Amino acid sequence: MILLLTCMLPFLGALAVALAARTGRNTQAILAGAATSAALVLILLQAPQVLAGTTSAFAMPWVPALGLEASLFMDPLGLMFAGLILGIGILIITYARFYLAAEDSMPRFLTFLMLFQGAMLGIVLSDNVLLLLIFWELTSLSSFLLIGFWSHKAEGRQGARMALAVTGGGGLALIAGLLILGRVAGSYNLTDILLAGLVIQGSPLYTPALVLILVGCFAKSAQFPFHFWLPRAMAAPTPVSAYLHSATMVKAGVFLLARLWPVLSGTELWFYLVATTGMVTMFVGAAIALFKDDLKALLAYSTVSHLGLLTMLLGFGTPMAAVVAVFHILNHATFKAALFMNAGIVDHEVGTRDVRRLGGLVHLMPIATTIAVVAGLSMAGLPPFNGFISKEMMLEEAGRTVWAELTWLIPLVATLAALLSAAYSFRYVSHVFFGPRRHDYPRAPHDPGAGLWGPPAVLAALVVLIGFFPATIAGPLVQPVAAAVIGAEPPYFALKMWHGFTPALFMSVLAVAGGAAVLWRHGEAVRMWQRVPVPDAKRAFDAVVAALVGASRVVTDTLHTGTLQRSLFVLFAATFLLAVEGLSVGGLGGATRAGIPASGVAVAAWLALVAGAVAVVVSARQRFLALIYISVIGLIVSLGFVYLSAPDLALTQISVEVVTILLLLLALNLLPKTPQPTSSRLRRARDAVLAGIVGAGVGWLALAVMTRAPRDPISAFHWAQAKPGGGGTNVVNVTLVDFRGFDTFGEIIVLGIAALAIYALLKTAVRGVAGRRLLAWVPETPESPERHPMMLVVASRLVLPIALVVGLFLFLRGHNLPGGGFIAGLVFSIALLVQFMASGYAWADARKRLERHTLIAGGVLVAAATGLGSLAFGAPFLTSTFEYITWPLVGQFELASALLFDVGVSLAVVGAVLLALGQLANLMQRAARLEVDAEPMDIDPTRGAGAVR
């Protein structure tokens, strides 16, 4: 539980700082510092037991289905890292408080920093590797924010993105690696995985898991060839660099290598991958560092080099090398954090970090110089500082390791790297602080306040103390931590300055002397260096990203041209191919149903239907003509329904046909009569072929389905139950209002929505571009001077009552004979449509009593209320009932609740049709700039035949 609290404290601190955004900088820094200190205290309180061998643990289930547990544990390795993260964290917070300029947002900075700290702490305390992954990616995300903190600087933004891409991308490989590892080990808990070394190394999945995990670790720990992001991340404010690149972010990869060392190391693959990568990185980093003039860049490459050193040590796979690695992690954290903060002080006080513009600061900044000397010489590996001891031990181990039978390779590279390391360290110390005093510093340099020098001074003191009393101060920590890394009792080792005249001492002396010599001839070395072709990692990275973006744009733009033709082509083609695939598998029987002999009339109608369809295609660009042919098709389909004894369908079809054709005529009037072809001839030929194939396919499917005997279809029940269960003899209508009344309920809503959508669309279409085009509309065909032909008006008025009676008749008999609410609604609509068309919109509109919206709403509500009525009787929605009552004169009459439902259907149909009509007419009126015609049967003499306005 204490562990959970420890892990949560930085996040709570981040929250506190964010909430205290309006308070002063001191408050915010104290809040952050307090959270960190509290966490550190909690860690230290547990330290004695942990170092004595009792790991402290906390576990809580989170996602059992995944094996993800919120389980934490702290063994000595976790303890050391947690201590470094929090200890250096306190120093960094103090330092940052005084470092950041007034225009930098302190709460933002500290919030990000605390988030990062929490994520780091999570990595080192996670027991569950999936939980570790979560924290791992969180460090990538929060470091992205920290590196890009100075977002006004282009290099800050680029550096942040690069760091995120490399470390976050590496994290994705790590996800795969750890998932495999967990599956092989049978658990995602580290404590279990660490016991499953034999199983893991014996598994065929060991190689992929190892490679993927290493990619993640190497990317995070800036190993060659992923090292390039680290120097770019130096665009961050110095406290960030000091934190991320000494003890935290980049050490995460090393941490994980150490954590998984017992189960992954010891194989040839491990040795060659890890040790080689480490060795190359150590050398390359040191070489580049020597030639960097920016202090932070120098330190950045030095960090790369030291991370390589650590990786190499872990890669050796020997327990003693692991001990050295543990010790060096500690030492590197102390001197590197001190040096970063020191470089920040120089930058802050002098105004430049360029070595070539610095020098002679010893007199002006004695405190900073002292820190630099102590930490710098430790980095160079000089006694009596801690860096010397771990470097000696490293050289000792390197001297014992053989790479592919080349006994000399590793010792040589290690010595060379140590030499270069000494050289750049000397350069850092001598070229900045010693030498002649200059007169062209950008600012007048002087030592900063204690807030800035205090934190690095603490670390410098540690450098000296560990150097003098390694066994006393570091020993009690290194011993158990090394045991935790190795997974067993470590070999005997002695942390001491003097090891006697060993080969390592000889290599060390060589390195220091060589380093001094190289620095002495630095100028020549620089000229040599400039002749070495070093690939620019940033440019390469940018080129790769640019190529990725470019390629993705080409792919995306090529695929998505946005044409309707392509969408439809793909849809038809894919559906056709899938249907063919379906038919090719499994048995396909022939016709099992006797056909009806075709009469001469039927054949003639069929031929007319085919001709009509062909005519529609041929005349597609003459819209009015096409519409006529479409209506021919509709008519023949209705006749077909009559022929096949489906009078309801025929009635529905024909009335729908009339309404749609009328509305389409209105709409087409405003469109160009002959649209331009939009596709090339070749395209159209291609489309025609596909259309022919798909059409034939659908025809064949229909034939195949219709020629087989139905297998006990549910419609048999509908036939049987229509009268006894539904109270009607018209099975179509009973199906519509009863068996499948819910479908009908949905469909009237569809109709209503369609009308609303048309209304909403056209209501606003009169504005903007569309509105201007509308006003510029010119009729393409001559108009009759009679706006409302008298014959039509008179006829339509006569028809109206008759049509209404017909509609009512169809409505009432619907339950038992062909008819019903839907058809009746359409008939009413047609009767009213004709009035609008004949007598003009305004005349007809003025005579309507009900809002069309209300009709739709009323229809839906009546239908819903009818359905809900059954709830009162404890029956489900839409349960119908019917009763036979005897009316005087009429005789026995059936009263069905479904009739009321049908009223709703009719209302919705009428409302929807009239709403669409109203809006189209309105648009027409605007386009034709007609004054509202209150009088029917008017004649406008200006509209002569042929006089096109």
Query: Which listed range, 134-142, 232-240, 467-475, 823-831, lies at the site for another protein (CB under 8 A)?
Result: 134-142
| Minimum CB distance to another protein, residue 587 (Å) | 4
Q: How far apart are CA 707 and CA 594, in angstroms?
A: 7
Nearer to another protein, 198 or 705 (CB): 705
Contact status: 640 vs another protein (CB under 8 A): no
- 121-142: burial string, b at 16+ Cβ within 10 Å, e else: bbbbbbbbbbbbbbbbbbbbbb
Nearer to another protein, 716 or 947 (CB): 716
Pull the structure tokens for residue 632.
């021919």
Half-sphere exposure of 367 (CA within 13 A, CB side): 17
| Minimum CB distance to another protein, residue 201 (Å) | 20
Q: Which residues contact 757 (CB under 8 A, 6 or more apart)?
A: none
Nearer to another protein, 290 or 878 (CB): 878
Nearer to another protein, 475 or 771 (CB): 771
| Minimum CB distance to another protein, residue 635 (Å) | 21
Work out the end-to-end distance of the chain between its first and last CA atoms, rounded to an integer number of angstroms.
87
Contact status: 138 vs another protein (CB under 8 A): yes
- Mask: binding to another protein, 528-567, rule CB under 8 A, as x and -? -----------------x--xx--xx-xxx-xx-x-x-xx
Q: How far apart are CA 625 and CA 619, in angstroms?
A: 7
Nearer to another protein, 151 or 599 (CB): 151
Q: How far apart are CA 260 and CA 184, in angstroms?
A: 14
* CA distance to 64, 544, 825, per residue, from 637 (Å): 60, 61, 21
| Minimum CB distance to another protein, residue 135 (Å) | 8
Among 34, 38, 172, 628, binds another protein (CB under 8 A): 172
Contact status: 440 vs another protein (CB under 8 A): no
Q: Tell me, what DSSP letter sits at residue 931? A: P
Nearer to another protein, 21 or 802 (CB): 21
Within residues 828-887, the interface with another protein by CB under 8 A covers 851-854, 856-858, 860-861, 864, 868, 870-871, 875-880
Q: How far apart are CA 453 and CA 447, in angstroms?
A: 8
| Minimum CB distance to another protein, residue 486 (Å) | 30
Q: How far apart are CA 147 and CA 240, in angstroms?
A: 7
Task: Report the 3 state secondary structure along 354-402.
Answer: EHHHCCCCCCCCHHHHHHHHHHHHHHHCCCCCHHHHHHHHHHHHHHHCC
Q: What angle do CA 130, 135, 139 make, to 5 degrees?
A: 145
Contact status: 657 vs another protein (CB under 8 A): no
Pull the structure tokens for residue 397.
């181990």
| Minimum CB distance to another protein, residue 349 (Å) | 28
Among 48, 64, 449, 595, binds another protein (CB under 8 A): 64
Within residues 21-60, the interface with another protein by CB under 8 A covers none
Within residues 767-796, the interface with another protein by CB under 8 A covers 767-770
CB atoms within 10 A of CB 573: 13
Question: Which residue's entry shows tokens 């449509």?
Answer: 833
Nearer to another protein, 496 or 763 (CB): 763
Within residues 564-593, the interface with another protein by CB under 8 A covers 564, 566-568, 570-572, 574-575, 578-590
Half-sphere exposure of 786 (CA within 13 A, CB side): 10
Among 765, 806, 808, 812, binds another protein (CB under 8 A): 765
Q: How far apart are CA 737 and CA 242, in angstroms?
A: 76
Contact status: 68 vs another protein (CB under 8 A): yes
Q: How far apart are CA 457 and CA 449, in angstroms?
A: 12
Contact status: 183 vs another protein (CB under 8 A): yes
| Minimum CB distance to another protein, residue 144 (Å) | 7
Among 400, 684, 740, 926, binds another protein (CB under 8 A): 740
Within residues 661-720, the interface with another protein by CB under 8 A covers 698, 701-702, 704-706, 708, 710-715, 717-718
Residues touching another protein, count (CB under 8 A): 130
| Minimum CB distance to another protein, residue 548 (Å) | 7
Chain centre distance of CA 583:
38
Contact status: 617 vs another protein (CB under 8 A): no
Query: Which listed range, 162-170, 369-377, 647-655, 664-672, lies at the site for another protein (CB under 8 A)?
Result: 162-170
Chain centre distance of CA 349:
44
Query: Which listed range, 82-90, 595-603, 748-756, 799-807, lies at the site for another protein (CB under 8 A)?
Result: 748-756
Question: Which residue's entry shows tokens 């056909």?
Answer: 595
Pull the structure tokens for residue 283.
């050398």
